[in-house]
């Protein structure tokens, strides 16, 4: 297996997460806790919270999604990671990921900066940015959602709708806002990097491969 930036991120995230599983102090020190950011200027929490997870399933889901969407071939034989590295270098791809963690948490910070009961952790916001950046290049890629195959573009629409609904509803201890804003960041940042991606996306939409697969 090629040692890639994505793999490095996964390894670091797993090491930090597994360490935090056994230490409440580490979780408290690294978790996204808006009042601590506001009052004690612990801005590092915007990033460190993306490297700890609630449990093994939470960690596994995020890291598996990160690997497959980051390493999936999207254009000219390149994976999403390869594309970003080609455009902005290895450091650029790392920054794209880290900024995704930060951006996905900003709305939550604004909403909960005085709420001492609110905490959040996990890489879901950054992973959402990777997933949606990938969808821009290949909207008809077939994604298995709970073992149900569907085109990536259909998944994207359902995902956004579900995320907005659940964010407004609340009550399930999931930071849906981070998922939503991570996805938005992934789309906008990728387009800002290369506006031609819009034409690639629109052209891909004209040729729905999923229907061909179903009818073949």
Cβ atoms 139, 205 nearer than 8 A: yes
Mean pLDDT of the chain: 92
Q: Which residues contact 51 (CB under 8 A, 6 or more apart)?
A: 12, 13, 16, 17, 30, 123
- Separation CA 207–CA 191 (nearest Å): 21
Cβ atoms 63, 55 nearer than 8 A: no
| pLDDT tens digits along 118-134 | 999 999 999 999 999 99
- Separation CA 51–CA 14 (nearest Å): 8
* pLDDT over 60 at 136, yes or no: yes
pLDDT at 146: 67
Average pLDDT over residues 160-174: 87
The region, left, alpha or beta by phi > 0 then psi within -120 to 50, assigned to residue 129 is alpha
Tell me the pairing of strands 142-145 and 78-79. Answer: unpaired
pLDDT at 211: 52
Cβ atoms 97, 130 nearer than 8 A: yes
pLDDT at 212: 47
Give the number of other CB atoms < 10 A from CB of residue 170.
Answer: 10
Regarding predicted confidence, which is higher, 187 or 152? 187
* pLDDT over 70 at 205, yes or no: yes
pLDDT at 173: 79
Longest dimension (CA), the chain: 60
Q: What b/e string do you get for 72-94 counting C-beta neighbours within 10 Å, with b at 16 or more?
A: bebeeeebbbbbbbeeeeeeebb
Q: Would you place residue 214 in the very low, low, confident or very high pLDDT band (cuts 50, 70, 90)?
A: very low
Average pLDDT over residues 39-59: 96
- Going from the N-terminus, what domains does the chain have, and what CATH number goes with each? 5-215 (1.20.1540.10)
Tell me the pairing of strands 148-151 and 73-75. Answer: unpaired
pLDDT at 141: 86
pLDDT at 1: 61
Q: Would you place residue 176 in the very low, low, confident or very high pLDDT band (cuts 50, 70, 90)?
A: very high
- Separation CA 181–CA 106 (nearest Å): 9
Q: Which residues contact 188 (CB under 8 A, 6 or more apart)?
A: none
Average pLDDT over residues 196-204: 94
Among residues 27, 7, 9, the alpha carbon closest in space to that of 18 is found at 27
In the chain, % of residues over pLDDT 70: 95
* pLDDT over 50 at 215, yes or no: no
Q: Bridge partners of 148?
A: 145
């Amino acid at each position: 297996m090629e040692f890639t930036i994505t793999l490095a991120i996964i390894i670091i995230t797993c090491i930090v997460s597994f360490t935090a599983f056994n230490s409440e102090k580490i979780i408290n020190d690294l978790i996204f806790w808006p009042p601590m950011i506001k009052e004690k200027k612990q801005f590092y929490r915007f990033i460190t919270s993306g490297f700890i997870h609630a449990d093994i399933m939470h960690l596994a889901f995020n890291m598996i999604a990160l690997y497959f969407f980051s390493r999936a071939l999207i254009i000219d034989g390149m994976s999403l990671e390869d594309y970003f590295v080609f455009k902005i270098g290895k450091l650029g791809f790392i920054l794209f990921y880290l900024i995704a963690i930060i951006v996905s948490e900003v709305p939550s910070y604004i909403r909960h900066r005085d709420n001492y009961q609110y905490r959040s952790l996990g890489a879901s916001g950054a992973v959402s940015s990777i997933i949606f950046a990938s969808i821009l290049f290949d909207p008809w890629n077939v994604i298995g959602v709970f073992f149900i195959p569907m085109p990536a573009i259909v998944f994207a629409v359902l995902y956004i709708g579900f995320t907005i609904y659940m964010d407004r509803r609340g009550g399930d201890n999931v930071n849906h806002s981070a998922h939503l804003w991570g996805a938005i960041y992934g789309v906008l940042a990728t387009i800002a990097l290369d506006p031609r991606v819009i034409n690639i996306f629109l052209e891909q939409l004209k040729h729905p491969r999923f229907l061909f697969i179903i009818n073949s």
